[in-house]
Structure 1
Amino acid sequence: MSTIAWIALGSAAAWGWLLLGQGFFWRTDQRLPPRQDPARWPSVAVVVPARDEAEVLPVSLPSLLAQDYPGRAEIFLVDDGSKDGTGDLARALSAQYEGLPLTVASPGVPEPGWTGKLWALRHGIGLARARGADEGGAGPEYLLLTDADIAHEPDSLRELVAAATSHGLDLVSQMARLRVASGWERLVVPAFVYFFAQLYPFRWINKEGARTAAAAGGCVLLRTEMAERARVPESIRQAVIDDVSLARAVRRAGGRLWLGLADRVDSVRPYPRLADLWRMVSRSAYAQLRHNPVLLAGTVAGLAVVYLAPPVGLCAGLFAGDTAAGLLGAAAWAVMAGTYIPVLRYYRQSLWQAFLLPFTAVLYLCMTLDSAVQHYRGRGASWKGRTYPRPEAAAPER
């Protein structure tokens, strides 16, 4: 066989493994497990880190204020140095919509060694605990950590708590359904969820005693006792990919995790241009590879074999008469497209987009390479005016 045919064979073998041996990552059936209402609804503090979120807050915050939760719940929105009036807008929305009580606070500039989001979460969790102590209690029993761009249906909190209490879970996380309105969003966003699940198969995470750990940072319900045992967020204060780091900290502390797709939790943040999506991915892509050039080279080679070899093999068969390469490439591409269809259905997108996955993979490959370039230029992990150093360059724990 030709060299292209051998590479196409390797790709076909890789897709056979991904289809059957990677935790059925491509399935979309991991939703909140069956649950029952608890005999007593535990208290919950909803902590929302927010930095320059005036654009999305009018949609997301009212959904939190309107939560239909039978127990005690309170919202703590932490304004992380916003310059667009986020804090004042949050207070105005609270007065307009009423609902759950809202406290707006600002933690000041993050200390060295902390990312802004985790610094804000630390402050919000501290406020919630202090509020409980002031009222003669022990603080909230659960923490809902949710981003400022996440909108929740009115029963979201009670469903999360019911799932946690019914199954003895310490962390319950739902991957919010991201917006897919623009052409670039339709091309890139479903693939983002697909690639994430490929790296962290939900079934593996949800299996008791499993080693794989991950969460979706936009919606995380965390038992407060477990947060204290895992020393969250102090133990992960430098993490750029904070959701995965949070899940790993909880797993190390002996906690039980659950992660799945959301049906009634949505991200309202728009990414209308390719540049917007590019920044979202590239700001943390190289951090995912632990800033390791060897891992970067392996990722580039792996993506090329797995995602690019099938169309190349098919073209070799059609235009160069390489029958083996063509058949193997077509088989691998068909399996690839087939595994992508469930995610497209979840996002209510046209199924023909499944055959564009190699092109989307090239975009992600370029975003990852750009992330590495920006890192070595000193502009890596940059978000909303802040650039974070490599973890080993941050201040040591005191």
Structure 2
Amino acid sequence: MGQTARVSAVVWTAAGSLLAWLWLLLGQGFFWRTDVRLPQRREPDVWPPMCVVVPARDEAAVLPAALPSLLGQDYPGRAEVFLVDDGSTDGTGDLARGLGRRHGGLPLTVASPGEPPAGWTGKLWAVRHGMALARAREPEYLLLTDADIAHAPDSLRELVAAARSGGFDVVSQMARLRVESVWERLVVPAFVYFFAQLYPFRRIGRRGTRTAAAAGGCVLLRADAAAQARIPDAIRHAVIDDVALARAVKGTGGRVWLGLADRVDSVRPYPRLHDLWRMVSRSAYAQLRHHPVVLAGTVAGLALVYLVPPAALAAGAAAGSTAAAVAGGLAWLIMAGTFEPMLRYYGQPWWLAPLLPFTAFLYLLMTVDSAVQHYRGRGAAWKGRTYARPEAVPDEG
């Protein structure tokens, strides 16, 4: 009787996982497709003025590979770059000035806002300072981009053309992250896959939907929409600032588009598992709103969706339960099948797809570690700063 009950529990659990995957396959905005690229666009007759804002903190290692790509943009209208040095200790500001003199191109201003006041993240304080400098030039669009992002020469004109043609207030591209080390190959494509699962790109750009997200490495923002949504003041304490920005703009009636990039690339290396672990764990618990019940539900959901299929297949085969083995195997097959397009986008072999349960287990551990670090007072730590949860931040009224 006990053996039968255990087998029955495995069958029902495997069936639940299979149902979850059938719903994800068909009912979650086709999140697994990788064909959401810049929408159809036509070049405007008159190119609007725009400014690029680059917050940078201790970015001397990556700046030489990224900043020249912005300075070398072939944008037909008036454009300039504002790099905001956020208290760097590695000479980021001086390096940026030197790169500006050496490469020429778009005008470059390097400034520093000083330490952020209570209630602000360092990045958003730097963005605020850069946007204030940019407003004096009266731009129609602002490109918020990170210091490790390299843009193709036509990136600005393509983004502006897409925004103008589609009537979007935000056009964001998820930069293609580096995948060279073993751990990058395992973890990075899954990172983007999980993000798309949470925020299906097709839903973001569709009118009348509440789904909103952006990718902080490349966010084109209409200046009037930023003012209406009070960006960045309204999201000043947000650790996951790109999603918060998109929600704020969409909440005021703005239109948001997010898709995968073709020629916008991150040059930041994550050679070790430790580096990737820090990237994920620093904000994972913030994504769950620092709520232990949501954490428990997330862990259970990850286990059901990603860990149960291979476990059920193995348990069913060992116990002679065809139902458990078939349900687990089908769920695992759907999982791998939906992951393969993202691997192809990143130029990785298909046989990495069945390893997704292992990578998901790593993400589960990273999420738990994020919560542990939060309760130890080291949550949301990045480059020497640790940020409080929003409820602990004093409101400016």
Global fold match (TM > 0.5): yes
| Counterpart selection for 1:49 from 52, 55, 66 | 55
1:360-388 CA deviation, whole Å, 9 max, x = no partner?
00000000000000000000000000000
Q: Distance in 1 between matches of 2:297 and 2:207?
A: 31
TM-score (norm 1): 0.98
Structure 1 counterpart of 2:20, one-letter code? A
- 2:280 corresponds to which residue? 281
* Structure 2 residue identity aligned to 1:128: A
User: Could you say what secondary structure the match of 2:343 adopts?
Assistant: helix
CA distance in 2, matches of 1:125, 1:76: 8
Identity of aligned residues (%): 75
The equivalent of 1:8 in structure 2 is 14
Moved over 4 A (4+): none
Determine which of 78, 89, 110 is the counterpart of 1:83: 89
1:20 equivalent to 2:26? Answer yes
CA distance in 2, matches of 1:54, 1:319: 55
Alignment of 1:151-170 (within 5 A): 151-170=150-169
CA contact 2:10–2:316 (8 Å) conserved in 1: no
- TM superposition shift of 1:395: 1.8
Q: CA deviation at 1:317?
A: 2.3
Q: Which amino acid aligns with 2:103?
A: Y
Residue 347 of structure 1 and its aligned partner are, at CA, apart by: 0.2
C-alpha offsets along residues 99-152 of structure 1, whole Å, 9 cap, x if unaligned? Answer: 00000000000010000000000000001113x2xxxxxx11100000000000
Partner residue in 1 for 2:112? 106
**Using the alignment, how far apart are the partners of 1:188 and 1:341 within structure 2?**
14
**Corresponding residue of 2:72:** 66
Instruction: Look up the equivalent residue of 2:98 and give its one-letter code.
Output: A
CA distance, structure 1, for counterparts of residue 162 and residue 261 of structure 2: 13
What CA distance in whole angstroms lies between the structure 2 residues aligned with 1:174 and 1:237?
22
Write the distance in 1 (CA, Å) between the matches of 2:14 and 2:207: 37
Q: How does 1:306-345 map to 2 (within 5 A)?
A: 306-345=305-344
For structure 2, the 5+ residue unaligned runs are 1-6
Unaligned runs of 5+ in 1: 133-138
Distance (Å, rounded) in 2 between the aligned partners of 1:201 and 1:343: 14
Give the equivalent residue in structure 1 for 2:356.
357
Number of aligned residue pairs: 391
Residues in 2 aligned to 1:397 and 1:143: alpha-carbon distance in whole angstroms: 25
Alignment map for 1:124-139 (pairs within 5 Å): 124-130=130-136, 132=137, 139=138
For residue 37 of structure 2, what is the amino acid of its counterpart? Answer: R
Deviations 1:141-177 (A, max 9, x none): 1000000000000000000000000111100000000
Task: Provide the aligned C-alpha RMSD in A.
Answer: 0.7
How many Å separate the matches in 2 of 1:397 and 1:26? 41
1:292 aligns with 2:291: yes
CA distance in 1, matches of 2:396, 2:298: 32
Match of 2:127 in 1: 121
Distance 1:117 1:140 in 2: 21
Structure-2 separation of matches of 1:215 and 1:209: 17
Partner of 2:3: none
How far 1:324 sits from its partner (Å)? 1.2
Cα distance, 1:185 vs. partner? 0.2
d(CA) in 1 for partners of 2:146, 2:327: 44
Aligned with 2:55: secondary structure?
A: strand
* Alpha-carbon shift at residue 318 of structure 1 (Å): 2.3
- What TM-score comes out, normalization by structure 2 length? 0.98
Is 1:182 the counterpart of 2:172 in the alignment?
no
- In structure 1, the residue matched to 2:270 is 271
| Counterpart-to-counterpart distance in 2, 1:105 and 1:209 | 40
Shift of 1:319: 2.2
Code of the residue aligned with 1:360 in structure 2: it is T
Give the Cα separation in 2 of the matches to 1:158 and 1:129: 20
